[in-house]
Amino acid sequence: MVIMDRTIKGTTIAFVIIIAILLTTSLSALYRIKDVMGQFDQVIDTNNRQTNIMHQMMNLGQERSLILQSMLFTQNPFEWEGMRADMNSIVGESKRLNKLLIELPSNTEELQLLEQHDKQNMSTSIVQNKVANLIFEQQYEEAQQLFYDDAIPNQRSTIDLMKRYIALQNQQNLDKQQTTQNQVSAFKSMTVLLLIVGLAISITIAINVVVRLMREIERRNLIESELEERVEKRTQQLSFLATHDALTSLPNRSLFVEQLNQSIKQSHRHKGVTAIFYMDLDGFKQVNDLYGHDAGDKVLIAISERVDKTIREEDLFSRIGGDEFTLILNNLADQEAALPIADKIISVVNQPIECEDLKLHVGISIGISFYPNDGEEPDQLVSLADDAMYQAKHAGKNHYVTVSAIPRQ
């Protein structure tokens, strides 16, 4: 009886020890996993904040370049001060974001990229300021040459550094995720191994722990997956907004200028003709004044959809500001091929636009220049098309005028 009691007592003590070991090990594993997940959350949160700040700085840099480009195209001293104020405001916001970025924890590689970015960004700002000063001095040719030869390449270099920084953050997120998964997997294997050598009740307890762990890991993985999808979607949205008009979703001035350069190069290689339409709505200001900006926005959207349906997929229809639009017709056999398109655009624009209980009417004046007959430089062709558009307005509006039709002085 004494031996049995001792055996029972010893078994009980051994069982208690096994349970204690299993519980201690399980609790320790849970604590380690929680600690690892906490570190993972902290790293991911920091990396995402750094990525979001860098995306904002990238958009501000692109916006400043667009403002500077608008100053070149506008050549209107009365609008320059406002544009320069906008550029200075962007510089201030960029400095604020850069300060926030520096204050966040960073490793050596991140600090090196930030240092390179600061130097490149300073170089870009210096060149952009030189361009702005030349514009204020009305030295347009020097300003344009400096803008395209130095300012744009510097801005691209700055953006490339930003993209490298964002790519580094994404890679660090993936590396940290893999490390965390490996650690969790190791803790899980150790716990399962100990559970196998335990008693049935210990195994049951351990299984429950593992189930909870698996659910937590699945939840974390789901959160990470959703976060990656959101970041990717936001990146795509920002990329789209950088090259497209927010109201009409048409390509903006930046994409128009880029495509025009490509079209001219292609026409030069294939000895073809490219037509550049510069268009301005007639009567749009009256719509805004009489019925408000909501009605004006609906008119712009309706006109954009109509005109976009009249052109070929290979052509580029863009909104460059206000009620001004441009169109690039590629791969034309001759200049005459563009004229029916102009007639068709005028026809679809002249159709009434229904806005609630109203039927709104606008017209459109079109100026057309041709590469290579009217010029070989993109800026020259756009300027000539703009002049032709004003000739169309002075001649009664709602029709088109080609550069060759303008009387020579």
Question: Using one digit for the tens of pLDDT, what is the confidence trace for 147-161?
Answer: 888 878 888 888 887
Facing residues of 324 across strands? 280, 321
- pLDDT tens sequence across 331-355: 898 999 999 999 999 999 999 998 8
Q: Is the whole-model pTM more than 0.85? A: no
CA 109, 112, 117, 123: dihedral to nearest 10 degrees? -160
- Label the pairing between strands 353-355 and 324-332: unpaired
Contact 278, 382 (CB under 8 A): yes
Alpha-carbon gap, residue 321 to 253, rounded angstroms: 8
Q: Which residue has the higher pLDDT, 95 or 229?
A: 95
CB atoms closer than 10 angstroms to residue 90: 19
Contact 332, 347 (CB under 8 A): no
- Label the pairing between strands 353-355 and 358-360: antiparallel
Most confidently modeled range among 24-33, 144-153, 202-211, 364-373: 364-373
pLDDT band, very low/low/confident/very high, at 384 (cuts 50, 70, 90): very high
Enter the CATH code of domain 253-405: 3.30.70.270
DSSP codes of every residue in 146-167: HIIIIIHHHHHHHHHHHHHHHH
pLDDT band, very low/low/confident/very high, at 363 (cuts 50, 70, 90): very high
Helices 2-74 and 152-196 cross at an angle (nearest 10°) of 170
pLDDT score at 40: 66
Q: Kindly list the distances between the CA atom of residue 400 and the CA atoms of 360, 364, 365, in Å, as whole numbers in the listed order.
A: 21, 8, 6
The radius of gyration computed from the CA coordinates of the chain, to the nearest angstrom, equals: 32
Helices (H), 75-199: 77-103, 108-136, 140-146, 152-196
Q: Which residues contact 154 (CB under 8 A, 6 or more apart)?
A: 120, 123, 124, 127
Alpha-carbon gap, residue 85 to 261, rounded angstroms: 30
Alpha-carbon gap, residue 378 to 263, rounded angstroms: 10
Instruction: Check pLDDT > 90 for residue 195.
Output: no
Buried b (16+ CB within 10 A) or exposed e, 130-145: bbbebbeeeeeeebbe
Give the count of alpha carbons within 13 A of 103, CB side only: 8
